[in-house]
Structures are given as structure tokens and as C-alpha cells.
Amino acid sequence: MQGYRAALLRFDAGDVLQRVDDALVIVDEGRILEADAFAAVAARHPDVAWVDWRPWVLAPGFVDTHVHFPQLDVIGSPADGLLPWLENYTFPHEARFADPAYAAAMAEVFLDELLRNGVTTAMVYCSSHRASAEAFFAASLRRGLRMVAGKCLMDSNSPDPVRDETATSLVESQALIERWHGRGRLGYALTPRFAASCSEAQMRGAAELADAYPGTWVQTHVAENHDEIAWVARLFPQARSYLDVYDRLGLLRERSMYAHCIYLDHEDRARLAASGASAAVCPTSNLFLGSGLFDFGAAAQAGFQWGLACDVGGGTSFSPFRTMLAAYEVARLGALTLAPQTLWYRHTLGAARAMGLGSQVGNVAPGYDADFIALDDRATPLLARRSGAAASLAEWLFSLIVLGDDRVVVQRVAGGVPLAGF
């Protein structure tokens, strides 16, 4: 058993975000045993040694619901929208991940960046090459992380170096499930890239694998960009909407994550909610690629689950602070004011729930995986001034969201193990 003494940010039983000024978190065999006021916990566990991390603040590791492992070096590639961006930068870059040695090296860089920014769980796209998924899972296992990932499926309308073949792609997906799903804290997501790059047979095959292996996930993109939507409508004229393409093929289901969800209509949103599927909301990507503005008000009305995501390399930063700030700004453009507690929830416990992992990660509470970070609210001179002047929890959180970045994240613990080297 190991204790950590510091301030603590956690969700109470009513999902209210609380700050405990002096807390003790006790970790036992990778899980949180206790997380509460120091005096009470220390009295119950007088023999447990603790490290003193005051004046830092322990907080749940961030959960990112949508990010592309092979796009780290695509960040900041300007284009006239999604489709030219994919063609000119993304596909050529992803082609490099056919090389196992390159993929293995990049998996370490990618995980370093997630962890540097305080993200301890993510839902991850690998490239279409089996080697990229092997590399990502192997690196995540070595670090003891809870990660969900999958090999991209893309048998149509894609250039040779990244296009896969229907039957082989499904055999490879099944082999990856058998090898990695449930190993350590890893999970497999069937990953049809988007309807424009997948045949009906490939998407149907993905749904059949998700049926055959309960507990696996599904992830894809939907309703992100006008040209993309028009293309999908031409490819699938029988579908009522873009989301309906997936629904008809059995891919709209619990444990499925739909990235973007910008241009949904009322019926789509109702279907998303009824199916138990979730949305990954990617504001920095939607702004950078000029895709559009997610409708936070309509999401609340429909009541579907959603979590925040960086969507690197369309997104511009791995930092959850940057993503939360962009979400705030996009909501304001729709005349909605998201509370900082709401933003934080949507990148921790709310994101974990959207993934179906709300009992495992996203909070620092008894029974949860010991995946947490320590935050330094004095990491920069301006942040120290602003956070020091905060008169409420909301003001304090907002100072971090607006002024914070990876410099704020000063410690990471994953599966109860403190990670060194940052």
C-alpha cells in the first residue's frame, strides 16, 4: 500500500466536483482504497507510508475519447477542409506505420505525449496496418495503461499504401482481439475509419465481430464535414442520414464512439441516445479543419452520452486544458455557457462513462483504478497569480482551463505506479 498526501479534486457520489484541501489517497494493488480528508484516512491507516505532494492537487487522469496514434506528426497541417487534409497529409503519413520499427518508436512518443498532458486513458485509432496496432498495444501494456484501440478499417476509396482488403482486414481485427482484448487493462475497438472508406461488407463484418466478442468497442467518424457528408450520401443513397448508414449495419450500439457528430438532425440525436452510443466531441479539430461547431444544447436536449477528445492530428493539442477551453468557446458561440466543472467532467468521469468505463477510471474514489495526476496551479507566473486570486472552485478550475498546459501536470500515476521521466 502507498499513500499520497495533497489536495484532491474528485467527484462525490452525486457527481459534484469537489476540492479537498488536505487529502490522503491510498493505493492498493493498482486500485484506490481510500481517497478523503487526510485526518480521517490517516487515522484509519496509521501504518501506511505516504509521500507528501503538497501543495499540488491530485486529480483524476484525463480520459480522451478520440485520438489518432499515427497522426502525431500531422498536427498543424493546414488544408482546405477534411478531405484534402486526409489526402495530402494524413494518408501519406499513416503509410509509414506499415513499418513495425517505426510504429514501435512512434508508440512511445505518442504515449509520452498523452501522459505528459495528463491523459491516462484514451480511445485510439491505429493505422490500417496490423503492425501499428501491435506496436500501440505492446507499448501500452508495458506501461500498464488502460487504453482502448483498434486497427483502422479502410478497404475503399483510399490510396494503396493505407487501403486494406475486406477479408484480410477482418481476419486481422479478430486476431488482434484475440491477442490484446482484455490483456492487462487493454481493450479492442473495431475501427471502421468512416463510411466513405469502408465497404458495406467491411462494416457489417466489424459489427459481427463486435457481436462475437462482447465487451469490445466500436469507433468511427460521423457528420464532420459538408463535403464528407455529401460523399457518404452519394455512396449510400438508401440511408436516411450519415448516422443511419452505421445504424443499418449494426454499428450503432452501446460501447460505440462516434467522433464529431456536428451535422446530426433531431432524429439522429434521438437514435444516438436510444442506442446507448456516445459522441466524441473534438473542438480543436473542428476549429482547425473548419469543420463546424458541435451543438452542445442539442446534445443536452437529446441526452446522449458524450466526452471530450483532442482528435490529434486534426486537433491541435494533446492538452485537455486546450480542448476544454475550445469546448467552452464553441459553446459560447452558440450562446451557451459551460461551467468549468462540466468541462472537467466531460474530460474525466463523463468521458469514461461515454466509453463504458465509468466504474474504472475518471475519478479518484475507492474502487477506481489508481490512475491520477498531480497538478501545480503555480506552474507559470501568470497562472500562479490568477489561480491564487480565485474566489471559488469554479474560478480556480477556469484559471487552469484558460492558462494551463502540460506544465501544470507534474506527476502521473497509472495502475498505482508513479511514472518517471517527464
Indicate which of Zn ion, ligand GUN, none lies near residue 224 (CB less than 5 to 8 Å, by partner kind): ligand GUN
Cα separation, 89 vs 82, whole angstroms: 10
Q: Cα-Cα-Cα-Cα dihedral of 306, 373, 319, 387, to 10°?
A: 100
Q: How far is the CB of 53 from ligand GUN (least distance, A)?
A: 37
Name which position in 172, 311, 377, 406 contacts Zn ion (CB under 5 A).
Answer: 311
Q: Check residue 151 for interaction with ligand GUN (CB under 6 A).
A: no
Name which position in 224, 369, 376, 377 contacts ligand GUN (CB under 6 A).
Answer: 224
Cα separation, 242 vs 231, whole angstroms: 10
Nearer to Zn ion, 291 or 342 (CB): 291
Q: How far is the CB of 232 from ligand GUN (least distance, A)?
A: 10
Name which position in 155, 268, 311, 371 contacts ligand GUN (CB under 6 A).
Answer: 311
Indicate which of ligand GUN, Zn ion, none lies near residue 295 (CB less than 5 to 8 Å, by partner kind): none
C-alpha cell at 64: 480522451
Name which position in 20, 41, 90, 107 contacts ligand GUN (CB under 6 A).
Answer: 90
Q: How far is the CB of 82 from ligand GUN (least distance, A)?
A: 6
Cα separation, 185 vs 168, whole angstroms: 26
Element counts in the chain: helices (H) and strands (E): 17, 16
What count of Cα atoms within 13 Å lies in the side-chain half-sphere of residue 87? Answer: 9
Select from 82-90, 168-176, 206-214, 263-271 the region that touches ligand GUN (CB under 6 A). Answer: 82-90
Q: How far is the CB of 331 from ligand GUN (least distance, A)?
A: 20
Cα separation, 331 vs 353, whole angstroms: 21
Q: Check residue 68 for interaction with ligand GUN (CB under 6 A).
A: yes
Backbone angles phi, psi at 332, to 5 degrees: -60, -35
Q: Check residue 316 for interaction with ligand GUN (CB under 6 A).
A: no
DSSP conformation letters of 310-353 = --TTTSS-S-HHHHHHHHHHHHHHTT----HHHHHHTTTHHHHH
Nearer to ligand GUN, 47 or 160 (CB): 160
Nearer to ligand GUN, 147 or 280 (CB): 280
Nearer to ligand GUN, 75 or 176 (CB): 75
Q: DSSP code of 49?
A: -
Site track for ligand GUN across 174-193, x = CB under 6 A: -------------------x
Q: Check residue 164 for interaction with ligand GUN (CB under 6 A).
A: no
Taking only Cα atoms into account, the Rg of the chain, rounded to an integer number of angstroms, comes to 21
The alpha carbon of 419 is separated from its chain's Cα centroid by a whole number of angstroms, namely 20
Name which position in 118, 192, 283, 314 contacts ligand GUN (CB under 6 A).
Answer: 314
Q: Check residue 228 for interaction with Zn ion (CB under 5 A).
A: no
Nearer to Zn ion, 9 or 114 (CB): 114
C-alpha cell at 74: 500531422
| CA-based torsion, 262, 264, 270, 272: positive or negative | negative
Strand-pair partners of 416: none
Amino acid at 335: A
Where do contacts with Zn ion occur on this chain (CB under 5 A)? 259, 311
Where do contacts with ligand GUN occur on this chain (CB under 6 A)? 68, 82, 86, 90, 193-194, 221, 224, 285, 311, 314
